[in-house]
A = this chain, B = another copy of it.
Amino acid sequence: MTYKATVNVTLKKSVLDPQGKTVLHALEAMGLNQATDVRVGKYFELKLDAAGEKEAGDHVRTMCDRLLINPVIEDYTYKLEKL
Contacts and interface: CB of A to CB of B under 8 A. Distances in A.
Interface of A: 2, 6, 8-10, 23, 26-27, 30, 32, 34-50, 59, 62-63, 66-68
Nearest to A55: B34
A24 to B, nearest CB: 9
Contact of A23 (B39, B50, B67): B67
A6 B54 CA distance: 26
Assembly of this chain: how many copies? 2
A9 B6 CA distance: 12
Contacts of A46: 35, 37-38
Q: Which 3 A-B pairs have the closest CB atoms?
A: A41-B43, A37-B47, A43-B43
